[in-house]
Amino acid sequence: MPTARSWTEGLLREQGRAVADVGTLLRFRAAHVRRPRAFRAGLVLFALATTAIAVVPAHLPGAGGPGRAQDVLLLLPTALAGLVLIAVVSAVASGGGRELLARDPAAVHPISPTTDHLGALVLAPLNIAWLLQAWTLLGAASYGAGAGPLVALQTAMLLWLVLATAVGQVVAWGVEGVRRLRFGEVGVRLLTVAAVVAVLLLQLDDRLVPLLDQVPTVRVVAVSVGGVTAAWWGVVGTLAGLSVAAVVLGALPAHLATRRVPHDELRVESESHRARPLPRSDLTVLLRTDRGSVWRAVPMRRGLAVLAIGPGVVALVGDLDWVQLTILPGLVASGGALLFGVNAWCLDGRGGLWRESLPVGAGTVFAARAWVLAEFLVAASLVTVALGGLRAGVPTATEATALLAMLAVVTVQVVGAAMRWSLAHPYAVDLRSARATPAPPLMMVGYSSRLALSTTMTGLVFSGLARLEAPWLPLLLAVPFLCWSGARLVRTHERWTDPVQRARVVVTAAA
């Protein structure tokens, strides 16, 4: 009789080896953390914050009762469906999820696609959009249900978080595999446009909310609110089984995608561009070079599309007015900086040593990089506002000035913070891969949370001013904001001109 291994035996062995490899890679990454104490403190703080968010709201006045708590509970099924959508979009935009180990170092190590898939799942929670949605979900469930069915409901919510993340990963690897086919990029774009148009048509026809009411998340919430019962055990068992199945199933499209060539990335690296006339000023030459390195990069183009179109479509579907739209430029700008701005000098890579040998002033190099980052953020914000404003009507004078002031303030604010962090904490990162991030995952969580907090607070200020009948007031208030952020940007510029500081950054980014 044949003695060859069965395919199930080989699959189980590969899954076990992949789990062990993920543990090894996590220990490897943790051993190279620059500040181990801060790393451990961050993990403890994250665990305590999550526990507090899941428990404390259940003991607040009004929790679990009629009125506002009941309204929150009624919206919980929609929030569960929205979490799946965010998990899918985030994973698809990053080409299958974030990398546990960068592409070039991984090429010389026996890391299987299954290990890559499991590593991306582990890194999925280290995303500010995922964290905010998860914390909001746990807090809303705690407040809406109260202390009685808290354990039953939060268990179901945690299992749903795992399931949504795993399903998003499966879809992302599948889309990445399709994208790597001969005409896959065109097909994915057409499918994305069709999905957006379908959502808009459903919203315009007032059928989107009734459709969302039919999703199975309603049963998950309804059964979990009843406490630990036989039906609850059935729901929990189903969620756990589906989660395990999604995690295992995700390895299949991961293998298929890995075996195919990433056409979009290779096309960027192999394409040629006709030389244009040389500009007269050094600044113009540097601006042209930096624009090319940003706009020709695959992760930048994908990230810009998601950042610009995603919030704009949400605003269009939600029929937001101009007062509410004032908050969006801050969120888009903070997300845009996370694509490369928080480690802006990694764009040069090994070419940073060559650029430092050019007869160009250090201040000119800094000005060009900051200007291109500002262009990137403004372009994404304008697309979002344009989409959201299609149903918002004509803005009043106060709303228009508040929006323009907000756009200027958050742009300078985010550029100043990004360039300051780029100088203080440089990292050697290869951004050619669509799955790469400009900084380690935990640093990205810190950057994103700080940017989101500062830009959201600024957005709330100018959103409140947009309700007033004083068009000059937003412009007047923008002056101190611009002066403060501009002064910090100037100080960062002065630090960059220091040869010692500049050498440290360039050598680190080019390593």
Q: What is the pLDDT of residue 207?
A: 76
3 part of a folded domain: no
Q: How far apart are CA 306 and CA 312, in angstroms?
A: 10
262 and 353 share a domain?
no
DSSP string, 45-76: HHHHHHHHHHHGGGGSTTTTSSTHHHHHHHHH
339 part of a folded domain: yes
Q: What is the pLDDT of residue 14?
A: 64
368 and 431 share a domain?
yes
Instruction: Count CB atoms within 10 A of the CB of residue 108.
Output: 7
Classify 220 as helix, strand or coil.
helix
pLDDT of residue 384 exceeding 50: yes
Scan for tokens 């300051």, then name that residue.
Answer: 420
Q: What is the pLDDT of residue 373?
A: 93
Q: What is the pLDDT of residue 70?
A: 82
Of 97-106, 316-325, 404-413, 458-467, where does mean pLDDT reach its minimum?
97-106
167 and 71 share a domain?
yes
pLDDT of residue 501 exceeding 60: yes
Q: What is the pLDDT of residues 222-236, one digit of tens each?
A: 888 888 888 889 988
Q: Alpha carbon 267 to chain centroid distance? A: 25
115 and 72 share a domain?
yes
Q: What's the pLDDT band for 13 if we cut at 50, 70, 90?
A: low
Q: What is the pLDDT of residue 7?
A: 43
Which tokens sit at 452?
């989101």
Domain endpoint, select from 236, 267, 298: 267
Query: How confident is the model over 174-182, as a mean pLDDT?
Result: 84
Out of 166-180, 209-223, 434-448, give the one with best mean pLDDT. 166-180
Q: What is the pLDDT of residues 70-129, one digit of tens each?
A: 888 888 888 888 788 888 887 777 777 777 777 766 666 777 888 888 888 888 877 777
344 and 228 share a domain?
no
Q: Which residue has the higher pLDDT, 377 or 184?
A: 377
Phi/psi at 327 (5° precision): -75, -25
165 part of a folded domain: yes
Kindly state the percentage of the chain with pLDDT values over 70. Answer: 94
31 part of a folded domain: no
Instruction: Count CB atoms within 10 A of the CB of residue 222.
Output: 14
210 and 345 share a domain?
no
For residue 481, which amino acid is it? F
293 and 195 share a domain?
no
256 and 322 share a domain?
no
Domain count, the chain: 2
Domain endpoint, select from 210, 236, 267: 267
For residue 271, which amino acid is it? E
Q: What is the pLDDT of residues 458-477, one digit of tens each?
A: 988 998 888 888 889 999 99
Q: What is the pLDDT of residue 9?
A: 46
Domain endpoint, select from 237, 267, 297: 267
348 and 245 share a domain?
no
Q: What's the pLDDT band for 183 if we cut at 50, 70, 90?
A: confident
350 part of a folded domain: yes
Q: What is the pLDDT of residue 12?
A: 55
Q: What is the pLDDT of residue 11?
A: 52
Q: What is the pLDDT of residue 15?
A: 66
pLDDT of residue 152 exceeding 50: yes
Describe the crossing of helices 362-388 and 298-318 by its angle, rounded to 10 degrees.
30
178 and 249 share a domain?
yes
37 part of a folded domain: no
495 part of a folded domain: yes
Q: What is the pLDDT of residue 5?
A: 47
245 and 127 share a domain?
yes
Q: What is the pLDDT of residue 371?
A: 94
DSSP string, 315-343: HHHHT--HHHHTTHHHHHHHHHHTTTGGG
Q: How far apart are CA 462 and CA 482, in angstroms?
A: 13
186 and 323 share a domain?
no
Kindly state the percentage of the chain with pLDDT values over 90. Answer: 15
Of 57-61, 64-68, 149-153, 236-240, where does mean pLDDT reach its minimum?
64-68
pLDDT of residue 3 exceeding 50: no
17 part of a folded domain: no
Query: How confident is the model over 50-75, as a mean pLDDT?
Result: 83
- Residue 473 is part of which domain span? 281-509
Query: How confident is the model over 215-228, as a mean pLDDT?
Result: 82
